Structure 1
Amino acid sequence: MKSTNITREEMWAKQHLSIHDIDYAVWERDKSMLHKMARVSRNCTFVVDVYKNKYVYASPHFANLLGYDEDKIATLEKQGDYLESRFHPDDFDQLVDLQIKLGQFIYNLPVEQRNDYCNIYSFRVRNAKQQYVRVTNRLQVLEQGRAGKAWLILGNMSISPDQKDSRQVACTVLNLKSGELFSPTLLFSPTIHLTERETEILHLIQKGLLSKEIAHKLQISIHTVNIHRQNLLHKLEAQNSIEAINKGIGLGILK
């Protein structure tokens, strides 16, 4: 469920970039540099043009490492959201939601601080063997317009060394000037107060125990366990136990 009604494209449009703010000769130089870097780096690099609201570059390693169509990668600017077509659909929804929240955070900062951040995501992408693998994706401003507005966004995607089995998109924000790290999940999540018993039951649900087993372990009735479970779903705004567990991990209640 989205936490806001604004779209990612509407968030990008808040930059109010105009053609007079940018110089595409700069992008041609950057693109030449990226082609050279692709010869030595095996990472999957891409660039988003905020003014055009589209992807304008992707390195050939997307085809080698993640099974993307080589011709479509070479002509990415004409392919729309092709890069996102291999993202896990559940992770994609979470990514969009996080990007919108982070955009709202950034646009509330003074103009001179808005381009100081690198967003680091971990999520699942389908590879050449049609299996989902976890990748790490770093996003930061590559070029600014003349007024200091973010124009070109650089993404650097690589296979994550941690292939944990998780349905949760992880995100860390790095301040490139101060080195400060923070979790946007904790920054933007409303304060949720679980009772000691609710927290205990959430941990047992994560371990895979059924209501009957939880009741036996805690020496309470199944009816009481089910009431606590309903309260958990309500407080965590979850539709089921899996969502409740993922919310608990995201909030730091569970590990």
Structure 2
Amino acid sequence: MRDILDIKLLSQSFEASPDADLKLDNGKLIAEMYSRLENCISVLSDMRSRRSYIYYGAIAQQIGLSTEQAEIGSIWEDELLNRVNAEDLQKKYRLELQFFQLLNSIGPAERTNYQAITKLRIRNVEGKYMLIKHRLLYIGSSDDGSIRFALCLYNMIYDHPEYEVPQSVIINTSSGKTIDYNHNSFTDMLSAREKEVLRLIKHGRRSKEIADKLSLSINTVNRHRQNIFQKLNVTNAMEACKVAETTGLL
């Protein structure tokens, strides 16, 4: 799952921008502000340079992490992620892939309206699991629309019966609407016919065979293929099937 995310995130074009350094500096300020205001761990990842900048709030001490600001040569904060329950980690990656697919279907100006939230079990200094709320926000794009800056926030979940955190959900903070992948909301990304075509592609059928099977013209099948590739933000059939499987579309 993470390998697919790497491909999707890091293979973007990232057109150069004259104010690229300013955007990075602004992103760092935002990340540091969150860590101080919420006592959370804040991770700013720059997809273009493949580097991350980590700011540690008080929660880091409970997990057993250093509280010194860090810069790492990766978009993944593995010192922290290695402490996450394996099942929760895969759930996180799956939601993040779906989140990336969603944001690629809308304009850059709308992207900051969305957050992906996951409840995670993370081992603390005593080796016991504690509950953490993870939020993912994309806070900046390149001039060509590539998603460049991601902000991950790790907050403690308060011990109060009325303070609930969803297992995995995408929230539109401007409308208050949510998308819960556990309830198959993402299945609407492809039409019923496109899913039929993709299932046949998965089973190795060629366009002519699919056309005969579904009583369609080859041109119609090829149009469905292109629509599938565009909606899933992929370039070939193998990648389309892999993304569809991991996001629950097939």
Q: Which amino acid aligns with 1:188?
A: F
Task: Name the CA distance, whole Å, in 2 between partners of 1:36 and 1:105.
Answer: 27
Aligned counterpart for 1:77 among listed residues 72, 77, 93: 72
Residue 47 of structure 1: how far off its partner (Å): 1.2
TM-score of the pair, normalised by structure 2: 0.60
* Cα separation, partners in 2 of 1:64 and 1:7, compared to 1, 3 Å: same
On the 8 A contact 1:143/1:151 being kept in 2, the answer is yes
Residue 31 of structure 1: how far off its partner (Å): 2.3
On the 8 A contact 2:117/2:168 being kept in 1, the answer is yes
Task: Name the CA distance, whole Å, in 1 between partners of 2:133 and 2:127.
Answer: 18
TM-score of the pair, normalised by structure 1: 0.59
Task: Name the CA distance, whole Å, in 2 between partners of 1:43 and 1:178.
Answer: 25
Task: Spell out the pairing of 1:57-206 with structure 2 (5 A cutoff).
Answer: 57-70=54-67, 74-78=69-73, 81-161=78-158, 170-186=167-183, 187-188=185-186
* Cα separation, partners in 2 of 1:39 and 1:172, compared to 1, 3 Å: closer
Which secondary structure state, in structure 2, belongs to the residue aligned with residue 52 of structure 1? Answer: coil
On the 8 A contact 1:119/1:171 being kept in 2, the answer is yes
On the 8 A contact 1:125/1:134 being kept in 2, the answer is yes
Which secondary structure state, in structure 2, belongs to the residue aligned with residue 142 of structure 1? Answer: strand
* Cα separation, partners in 2 of 1:129 and 1:54, compared to 1, 3 Å: same
* Cα separation, partners in 2 of 1:23 and 1:53, compared to 1, 3 Å: same
Higher relative contact order (CA 8 A, sep 6+): 2
Residue 39 of structure 1: how far off its partner (Å): 4.1
Which secondary structure state, in structure 2, belongs to the residue aligned with residue 86 of structure 1? Answer: coil
Which secondary structure state, in structure 1, belongs to the residue aligned with residue 82 of structure 2? Answer: helix
RMSD value, Cα: 3.2
On the 8 A contact 1:50/1:151 being kept in 2, the answer is yes
Unpaired segments ≥5 residues, structure 2? 189-247
In the comparison of the two structures, how many residue pairs are matched? 182
Which secondary structure state, in structure 2, belongs to the residue aligned with residue 122 of structure 1? Answer: strand
Unpaired segments ≥5 residues, structure 1? 191-250
Residue 20 of structure 1: how far off its partner (Å): 3.3
Which range is displaced more, 33-42 or 181-190? Answer: 33-42
Residue 57 of structure 1: how far off its partner (Å): 2.3
Percent identity (aligned):
15
Task: Name the CA distance, whole Å, in 2 between partners of 1:149 and 1:133.
Answer: 35
Q: Which has the larger radius of gyration?
A: 1
On the 8 A contact 1:134/1:162 being kept in 2, the answer is no
Task: Name the CA distance, whole Å, in 2 between partners of 1:159 and 1:37.
Answer: 13
Q: Deviations over 1:42-64 (max 9, x none)?
A: 12222111212342223243532
On the 8 A contact 1:21/1:145 being kept in 2, the answer is no
